[in-house]
Structure 1
């Protein structure tokens, strides 16, 4: 029966009709194997009765006691209150939804056993809406024999039903094994239990299980499955990489005719890190299969110059290069930089964004199609079908996490007649923790620009409460009097762009009133791109002293004279985003400040996060902390979260396994049948983005 569990549909289980089958399908459960791999999120301990006297708030426990009183309370909200005692203490059970029959059943003297979470109530500890049943005081009613699993579920599918279905699936498991997909010769030496034992154990952990290990996700049975899940995830990305590489790419050796004069005209020498990364990129471009390289570099480390060198190598080799950014502000800034650098070398740079309409758009599309434009800069408008390149050799994608895997891949079809894939250079100023680079970006080679250009000064970060706003306004006045410029950032008030823009408008009015001598500008997401660009240009050319903005200025805006940044409500932003914003100042040689002005009281996590910002400007350390506090989905950006939904693994907790995972995934490519089956088991056919 080795293969059968992956082939037996859940409709074979007793009690599964069409309606229930559809609910199971919503959870990705189609076969008995899927059900066995639908693992518990957590466990409840119903294996022993706990004395009421030993209960503490937030304990989930089984209690048994005698009803002393059951009465209806008519306070703010009508409820049935039932007091029970067991000789060690008294506990209140509270029901907001109840019937007359239920009240009559709970008459004084009745013995009941109940389960629920203890909370602090008006008169001591209470459990709201416990599960309960009457027990005969003479009869010994057994408790559960193993910990009770709590499963991920969907509307209309209760835990009791899921547990009953899993019981049936575990009976199937006793009769026929799940297929061990990690070859035996690779399993030897690993101290993991067998797959079947691990799965059975996690569905029904025995009473004597080490509960601490289980709750922390560190039990050997959990580690065994987390390991296989990480291997499956890694394999799917390697598969994606193989598929891209199979296509072949144009060789772009370059000849230095454009690169040499470009480097000579730069007003600064490249840092050692820029030189190293540029060489890695140049080597990749000369190969006959697509480069897939991720360049990470902190804010201001000079990634754009590396991208320009790569674009020039493509142009030297007779092919076009495309540079894509997630926002119009950033794309426009790239366009200005590339035009200033490349047009003196006789290279035409085209520009394509959503706001480009009519004749202008038509002209640009024609220049791209005819090959007159050798370098094309734009937003996601470059993905559109009507954009046809004459001969595309290289795609540079800035802030990759804003696009997601699928969009990145759609650009490979823009290569020479779909036959050869363009090389891909992906850049990010959001440092990605090593654990994420090894998993979410396993299909990419990674380079790090770990050196800032000389003359950059570290930013001093100050954390203060909102009630010191007047002091902050005085600091702004002082900075502007010294001919410095200031950013004042209003963060998201709620998940509403309209409210965020409104908050920025109100703040701009208040600051104009408080600082009448200053020239104040306002930028937010609801302004027309042309208005935004106009204000940004005025700020850049020092026609404005203070710029009030929403987080639209997060990436790429470069104003060396800006030396102070105020961020309101920083506790509402992720650490990576705060780090990005802070990177807008400190771009010149003058001492710079970032003031994080929070709303009191701060949560413990909020305090911890702002402390990290105050203590370090190391983007990688900040990214590691962000990952620890918010999880991979958040750190990678919402478009990527589907990629990172693990059933059993946790990248932070299981990071010690990643080197072994990587090694094993590479070895498993020698066994394609095993590799495909592992990916299908954990990611399913539909969710295997490795097949994009």
Structure 2
């Protein structure tokens, strides 16, 4: 049976300015700066944590590290100055134990409040002090009568709003909650689905989150596993998924050229390659080929580990376009990576008579004018470049396929700008995006619901697994001797630093000083330096010298993270490895082990290590599988850093946590299909509730 449209009450969209006591124009402006404009915004402004003031803890039962509410009479007050102002108030409750309240910031009127014998109720975390237990800057209030009732609910602590005090914010939220419609008017999801999942209604979930009862599962709330949070996370994930599906439907309404005529050219490329495609490469190309011949715009993400051969698959896809009389464009985020793509494609495609053009920031003057003309008149059949491809003056004769490599490094508008260069009327170019950072399945399900996802999950034969070891920085001299021996045997090595210049604030060896020290320690080895601040020509010349074997040791920043292919390099040292994320470490490690020689990656760290750093380094030692590493990275760092935040709204989820709530995604997908099929107007309302009218995901 189809779902009936929901009859949402207009209070959803009503602005709170002038409708809540205490919210005049100035306060409304401050709330609006935090995105709190309507009643619904306040309902979804959820507490960060809770404070339990529903009970009192006797002073004799108080333990160090315990957060509790206590009550007692002022027994002594001491105001002094030791390095800074200090106020100490001793509280007693008739037991042998005294608690000290310590304040470093206070006013004279505050001191006067603490008269000897005054009754005080304080809330804070106890810690061991010089004279017993103390609380530093607890929240407190003085009690007037002999008996004063305790609070009946936990105190919610909300994300701060500049210029609005915590107590005022709580008051505004409580007023807004009083306007919550009844469950049936508020609910957008089918009640039978909620009951099957064992989840409460939205109204019940919101009331629980804002005003949890004294017996509420605080541990569950802190861990994000309380049914109320899961109910809200389900709907928020659903809103983001529906938003992506809506974008996909919009794009799929357009038409795309069938690129069937290019099959013969793609086959010729395969035949003349100096290596054989892996099974995974063949499978992924077949998926791409089906898309390109369907008549609908392709929207496909190809992910594959470092060295899995994504560029060849992209080249074969480009041949389908070129063989069908269309142009293909490949954009990469750095000139280093783009130029390597250009060299590879020109090497593979020149024997086929295919013209490959190159466009980057450093292509200027007459060379740039010639490239722009070749792109505009169709002479350039494949165009490789950086962000320069997206510039307004770049015009294609007939762009049929837009390829974006390392897509998470591009902003949304840049990818749209490239796609739109082939757009005309109802026609849309096909889109292929690639990443060498494997995306965990849960993240792909949530972040790329508008894309079909393919994985090249097989490395070419002959690639030797890289042995990974972690060493303390004290063992640098041993590593230098190891480099000396490797270079003497004709092999090459990388030494990666995380900073260009020395920094007093961060304990990290800078690339410049490391280069100078290593050059002095290895007089018989040619040592070179490359970093992001060098001029492009100088950087490229250094990289080419390393690739040609003229340089034995390359000292570099993480500029070499992607796109550098030197099969003879078999040793990599990553300085201050504890400062980098798992995926970045794995990307760097992928620069060695590209030839037949046994390769080693040394993670050089500065002790002591944090628990997270220990977990990262242990994971790198245990596995070379980028997909396993990506799952671990997601659990350690969350989605924002893994994907980059410029092109997704994932980092700003209000309730949902992809690593924690991955188990909800199958239900989210099934529920999205049902809503789009049976009640599309409700799907729009879910999107509006959580995302609003802002287009937070581009249809790129």
> TM-score when scaled to structure 2?
0.95
Partner of 1:135: 143
Cα separation, 2, equivalents of 1:204 and 1:524 = 54
Residue 173 of structure 1: how far off its partner (Å): 1.7
Residue 189 of structure 1: how far off its partner (Å): 2.6
Q: Which one of the candidate residues 426, 438, 463 is aligned to 2:445?
A: 438
Taking the TM superposition and a 5 Å limit, the aligned residue runs for 1:116-515 are 116-136=124-144, 139-173=146-180, 178-184=185-191, 186-187=193-194, 189-417=196-424, 419-492=426-499, 503-515=510-522
Q: Which one of the candidate residues 95, 98, 111 is aligned to 2:103?
A: 95
Contact kept? 2:251, 2:699, Cα under 8 Å = no
Residue 167 of structure 1: how far off its partner (Å): 1.3
My pick for the range that moved more, 487-496 or 79-88, is: 487-496
Contact kept? 2:502, 2:509, Cα under 8 Å = no
Contact kept? 1:479, 1:485, Cα under 8 Å = yes
Contact kept? 1:240, 1:690, Cα under 8 Å = yes
My pick for the range that moved more, 288-297 or 28-37, is: 28-37
Change (3 A) 1:496 1:227: farther
1:624 is aligned to 2:631: yes
Cα separation, 2, equivalents of 1:434 and 1:99 = 55
Contact kept? 1:178, 1:196, Cα under 8 Å = no
Contact kept? 1:498, 1:526, Cα under 8 Å = no
Residue 507 of structure 1: how far off its partner (Å): 0.6
Partner of 1:599: 606
Q: Which one of the candidate residues 108, 112, 123 is aligned to 1:115?
A: 123
Cα separation, 2, equivalents of 1:584 and 1:434 = 25
Residues 366-398 of structure 1 show CA distances to partners (whole Å, capped at 9, x for unaligned) of 100000000000111111111111000101111
Cα separation, 2, equivalents of 1:388 and 1:513 = 51
SS of equivalent residue, structure 1 residue 62: strand
Cα separation, 2, equivalents of 1:335 and 1:380 = 14
Cα separation, 1, equivalents of 2:261 and 2:127 = 70
Change (3 A) 1:691 1:251: closer
Partner of 2:684: 676
Change (3 A) 1:500 1:636: farther
Contact kept? 2:497, 2:509, Cα under 8 Å = no
Cα separation, 2, equivalents of 1:238 and 1:57 = 51
Cα separation, 2, equivalents of 1:494 and 1:207 = 54
Partner of 1:563: 570
Residue 188 of structure 1: how far off its partner (Å): 5.5
Residues 549-574 of structure 1 show CA distances to partners (whole Å, capped at 9, x for unaligned) of 00000001000000000001111111
Contact kept? 1:571, 1:606, Cα under 8 Å = yes
Cα separation, 1, equivalents of 2:501 and 2:582 = 18
Q: Which one of the candidate residues 3, 11, 23 is aligned to 2:9?
A: 3
Residues 413-445 of structure 1 show CA distances to partners (whole Å, capped at 9, x for unaligned) of 111435411111111110111111000111111
Residue 191 of structure 1: how far off its partner (Å): 1.8
Residue 176 of structure 1: how far off its partner (Å): 8.4
Cα separation, 2, equivalents of 1:368 and 1:498 = 48
My pick for the range that moved more, 47-56 or 143-152, is: 47-56
Change (3 A) 1:499 1:124: closer
Residues 589-610 of structure 1 show CA distances to partners (whole Å, capped at 9, x for unaligned) of 1110101111111111111111
Partner of 1:689: 697
Q: Which one of the candidate residues 653, 656, 666 is aligned to 1:646?
A: 653
RMSD: 2.2
Contact kept? 1:414, 1:421, Cα under 8 Å = no
Cα separation, 2, equivalents of 1:496 and 1:250 = 54
Cα separation, 2, equivalents of 1:2 and 1:556 = 52
SS of equivalent residue, structure 1 residue 257: helix
Residue 139 of structure 1: how far off its partner (Å): 1.4
Residue 185 of structure 1: how far off its partner (Å): 5.9
Contact kept? 1:400, 1:427, Cα under 8 Å = yes
Q: How many residues of Structure 1 are paired with residues of Structure 2 in the alignment?
A: 691
Change (3 A) 1:473 1:53: farther
> TM-score when scaled to structure 1?
0.96
Residues 575-631 of structure 1 show CA distances to partners (whole Å, capped at 9, x for unaligned) of 000000000000001110101111111111111111111111111111111111111
Change (3 A) 1:385 1:59: farther
Residues 227-252 of structure 1 show CA distances to partners (whole Å, capped at 9, x for unaligned) of 01110010000111111111221111
1:551 is aligned to 2:572: no
Partner of 1:19: 26
Residue 647 of structure 1: how far off its partner (Å): 0.9
Gaps of 5+ in 1: none
Cα separation, 2, equivalents of 1:562 and 1:290 = 41
